[in-house]
């Protein structure tokens, strides 16, 4: 185990914010992680786990230990002619796992193509896109308790998944480090979800009537590439805010005033409103402020055009929250972790 002092995090966060961590250590096995968690220097100061750094906004130097999750590997735990249960190291790149599963002919991850980040972060915030959430293929995960070093298994129910939520963002926030995630994927008779309008449009545009998992993945990739900036080119962390939900009755009121407001009905008389629409209507889409701004194709994505400061992005996010609250009476909650 090698600890480094004053390490730049610029290449370790997709916003490309240039801050330093006072201490940096990489872990490649569960045993190494347990050893790090016991270390005196680590216990004496704040610590954070970093996966792909694609859902974090650093606003200042991190005065503590950054533990970089680098546990790799894929292992088939169980399989029959219909399905496979594959256990994957938390440090594996998410999209590489999706491509690997497609190569194997395994279905279930295709709608989640091209999401930045690591496997360990996927259940943490129940990543989702184009009608599918990771909870649908999630079987269980292995995690190490940060205080006791004990290893625990969490099944689907124990994770308490919700929209961009899990027990690891709530009750157990900062209690556990996820080391492996097991997914249950189909080997045949794949259940495709092409309900999301843009996917069916791309498929029918290509004349595909009976899509394969590869076709769905290709469609998702082309939609994402047309709307979302590539973090390797323009710093960003995907959607900056969650899509808010409002009571149906309040939604009716909003609809009376803003006739084009989109809304998706949820159980319990709630309606989900696209934050991207609210931000665009509040006049923010494509706004540039020095080195940072709001993306021109997707108002939900804040961007760093280079050398932007985390504090400035945070201030921009606050301004956006403020103006959306004033115009619509809706409070936007960040999806990105602000550190």
The kind and range of the H/E element at 227 are helix 213-227
Q: Do residues 277 and 261 make contact, with C-beta atoms less than 8 angstroms apart?
A: yes
> Shortest approach of ligand EPU to residue 298 CB, angstroms?
5
Asked if 298 touches ligand EPU (CB under 6 A), the answer is yes
Q: What are phi and psi of 50, to 5 degrees?
A: -120, 125
Among residues 34, 129, 159, 254, the one that binds ligand EPU under rule CB under 6 A? 129
- Whether 164 is catalytic: yes
Asked if 138 touches ligand EPU (CB under 6 A), the answer is no
Alpha-carbon torsion angle 37, 38, 40, 42, nearest 10:
0
**Distance between CA 180 and CA 41 in Å, rounded?**
25
List residues bridging with 154 in a β-sheet: 141
**Distance between CA 113 and CA 243 in Å, rounded?**
20
Among residues 32, 35, 165, 280, the one that binds ligand EPU under rule CB under 6 A? 280
Among residues 87, 239, 304, 309, the one that binds ligand EPU under rule CB under 6 A? 239
Asked if 51 touches ligand EPU (CB under 6 A), the answer is no
Quick one: which segment of 10-18, 34-42, 77-85, 238-246 binds ligand EPU (CB under 6 A)? 238-246
Give the contact letters, 74-113, x = binds to ligand EPU (CB under 6 A), - = no: ----------------------------------------
Asked if 274 touches ligand EPU (CB under 6 A), the answer is yes
Catalytic-labelled residue, pool 14, 47, 113, 239:
239
Asked if 277 touches ligand EPU (CB under 6 A), the answer is yes
Asked if 120 touches ligand EPU (CB under 6 A), the answer is no
- Whether 311 is catalytic: no
For ligand EPU, the closer CB: 27 or 271:
271
Asked if 146 touches ligand EPU (CB under 6 A), the answer is no
User: How big is the chain, counted in residues?
Assistant: 339
Asked if 299 touches ligand EPU (CB under 6 A), the answer is yes
Asked if 134 touches ligand EPU (CB under 6 A), the answer is no
- Whether 335 is catalytic: yes
**Distance between CA 144 and CA 134 in Å, rounded?**
21
Sequence-distant (6+) residues with CB within 8 A of 71 are 27, 28, 29, 30, 33, 89, 90, 91, 120, 179, 180
Bridge pairing between strands 138-145 and 176-186: antiparallel
Asked if 238 touches ligand EPU (CB under 6 A), the answer is yes
Number of residues that bind ligand EPU (CB under 6 A): 17
> Shortest approach of ligand EPU to residue 335 CB, angstroms?
5
SS3 327: helix
Buried b or exposed e, range 230-245, using 16+ CB within 10 angstroms: ebeebbbbbbbbbbbb
Catalytic-labelled residue, pool 164, 166, 184, 217:
164
Residue 210: count other Cβ atoms within 10 Å of its Cβ.
7
Report the interface residues with ligand EPU, using CB under 6 A.
129-130, 227, 238-239, 242-243, 262, 274, 276-277, 280, 285, 298-300, 335
Catalytic residue annotation: 164, 239, 335
């Amino acid at each position: 185990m090698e600890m480094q002092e004053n390490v730049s995090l610029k290449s370790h966060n997709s916003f490309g914010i240039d801050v330093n961590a006072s201490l940096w250590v990489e872990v490649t096995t569960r045993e190494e992680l347990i050893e790090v968690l016991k270390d005196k220097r680590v216990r004496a100061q704040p610590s954070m786990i970093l996966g792909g750094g694609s859902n974090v906004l650093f606003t200042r130097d991190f005065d503590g230990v950054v533990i970089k999750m680098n546990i790799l590997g894929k292992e088939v735990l169980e399989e029959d002619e219909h399905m496979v249960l594959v256990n994957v190291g938390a440090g594996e790149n998410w999209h590489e796992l999706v491509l690997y599963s497609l190569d194997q002919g395994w279905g279930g991850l295709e709608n989640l193509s091209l999401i930045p980040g690591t496997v360990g972060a996927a259940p943490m915030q129940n990543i989702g896109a184009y009608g599918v959430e990771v909870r649908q293929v999630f079987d269980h995960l292995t995690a190490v308790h940060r205080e006791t070093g004990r290893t625990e298994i969490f099944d689907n129910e124990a994770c308490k998944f919700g929209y961009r939520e899990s027990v690891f963002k709530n009750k157990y926030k900062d209690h556990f480090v996820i080391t492996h995630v097991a997914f249950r994927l189909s080997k045949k008779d794949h259940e495709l979800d092409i309900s999301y309008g843009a996917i069916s449009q791309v498929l029918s545009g290509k004349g595909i009537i009976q899509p394969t998992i590869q076709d769905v993945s290709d469609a998702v990739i082309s939609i994402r590439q047309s709307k979302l900036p590539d973090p390797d080119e323009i710093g960003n962390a995907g959607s900056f805010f969650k899509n808010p939900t409002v009571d149906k009755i309040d939604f009716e009121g909003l609809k009376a005033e803003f006739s084009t407001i989109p809304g998706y009905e949820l159980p319990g008389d709630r309606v989900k409103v696209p934050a991207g629409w609210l931000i665009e209507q509040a006049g923010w889409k494509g706004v540039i402020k020095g080195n940072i701004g709001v993306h021109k194709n997707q108002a939900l994505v804040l961007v760093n055009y280079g050398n932007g400061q985390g504090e400035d992005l945070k201030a921009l996010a606050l301004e956006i929250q403020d103006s959306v609250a004033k115009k619509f009476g809706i409070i936007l909650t960040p999806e990105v972790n602000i550190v």
